[in-house]
Each structure stands twice: as structure tokens, then as C-alpha cells.
Amino acid sequence: MSRVRVHNFSISLDGFATGEGLGLDAPFGHAGGRLHEWMFATRTGNEDLFGRQGGTTGVDDAFTAQWFPRIGAEIMGRGKFGPQTGPWTDLGTDAEWRGWWGENPPFHTPVFVLTHHPRPSLEMEGGTVFHFVDASPERALELAREAAGGLDVRIGGGPTTVREFLAAGLIDHLHLVLVPIVLGRGTRLWDGLEGLEADYAVEAVSSPSGVTHLTLTRRG
């Protein structure tokens, strides 16, 4: 059965998944790369996501690699696609923005970008096609499921998008990575999700790297 999954979603001890001050030079704001250093150090992170060589092959690598298999489509918030806000045409060259990932993004599937300002789809190399849709979580998931052809749908972030899908009861598998830093400000994952654990089996496993992997798997 097709499942809805979140992977490698990193949060600080105080629950922030991005910092403050997002921009072209700072996709995660003042958090910099600190939330994802654990992933950049893995072999999967290096070789499959960044085209570099080498890396660790322990538990962090095993979780990182779960991002890939059986995914037929991704849904992401506009804030993950790019740092712009508002209508694309108001922002000079922003209408030419094609994402952070170059001409051959790592998705290789349809990707539905949630935005109140739709624009024409972008067909990239390697099978990634960005579709821009103004839709509720439920409707976006319908579109993604159709496009996924029976495979799973990944919810790619950022925190506002993941939180909305959790609040709507649409997530089957949530992999969080607790990073031992205190960000202090930014966007929190947890707001408005009181009692979330009731619907999930929760596992925790700490890694020698210092992060802790939490998996929430929806019950029956």
C-alpha cells in the first residue's frame, strides 16, 4: 500500500527545523549547515546526494538511505524550493529560479511545490518535474498519489509543510533526527501537535555521531 513518508527531518533540541533569516545564501538561516552535518558525513549523503566520495556507513547512513526507495512523488513547501515569497513576477529574476539543486535534482520524480502563486511546471534533467500547486494538504496528496503510480509519497519539508500534513493526519512514517544544538529561534515543528504520539509507535536510537533518530510509524 502506498505510504506517506518524511525522512531525515532534522530538528534542534528546542524543536526548530530551520533558523531565522532564510535567504539565498542561507537556506536554513542562522542554523547554517548544523542541522544536517550528520547527513553530510555519511556515504549516502556524500555519494548519492552530493556527488562526493566517502563517508560513514553506520546507523546515520542507514537512515539517510531510507530517503530513496519506493518513492513515486514528493510534496514540498515553497520555502524548501526557494527563498522567495510573494508573486514570482514581483521579484525580478525569481521567476527564473529552478530550485537549489542544479539542473539534475536528486528527486527523479514529480515534485509538487505548495504555493499560493502557481507558475508553469519545470521539467528538469533526470526525471524531476516541479509542479506548482495552490492546494490543501489533502488535495496535494491526491495529486501526488496519482503521479506516484502506486509508489509512496515523500513529504519533503520544510517544517510548516510537515506540521500541516501531521495535523491533517496524513503522515504514515516520520523520521526525525534530533541534533544536539539549541537554535533558539526559527520555525518549530511541534506547534499545534499535542498528543500526536497516540497515533504512532515511536522508536528512538542514538548514534555515536551524537544525533538521535526518532521514527514515528502510524499504528495499524
- The cell for 67 is 530517503
Number of residues that bind a second copy (CB under 8 A): 29
CB burial string 95-107: b at 16+ within 10 A, e below: eebebeeeeebeb
* Contact flag: residue 146 with a second copy (CB under 8 A): no
Contact pick of 23, 25, 96, 182 for a second copy (by CB under 8 A):
182
Contact pick of 113, 184, 187, 218 for a second copy (by CB under 8 A):
184
* Contact flag: residue 168 with a second copy (CB under 8 A): no
Contact pick of 122, 178, 217, 218 for a second copy (by CB under 8 A):
178
Phi, psi of 22 (to 5 degrees): -65, 145
Region binding a second copy by CB under 8 A among candidate stretches 12-20, 40-48, 82-90, 148-156 = 12-20
Distance CA(114)–CA(131), nearest Å, equals 9
Written as one string, the DSSP assignment of 146-199 is HHHTTSEEEE---HHHHHHHHHTT--SEEEEEEES----SSEES-TT-TTGGGG
Is residue 56 classed as helix, strand or coil in its secondary structure? strand
- Residues of span 13-52 touching a second copy by CB under 8 A: 13-15
Region binding a second copy by CB under 8 A among candidate stretches 94-102, 126-134, 138-146, 179-187 = 179-187
Is residue 4 classed as helix, strand or coil in its secondary structure? strand
The residue among 138 and 197 lying less far from a second copy, judged by its C-beta, is 197
Min separation Cβ 82 and a second copy, Å: 26
The residue among 79 and 186 lying less far from a second copy, judged by its C-beta, is 186
Helix, strand counts (H, E) of the chain:
6, 11
**Where along the sequence are the contacts to a second copy (CB under 8 A)?**
13-15, 178, 180-185, 188, 190-197, 202-207, 210-212, 214
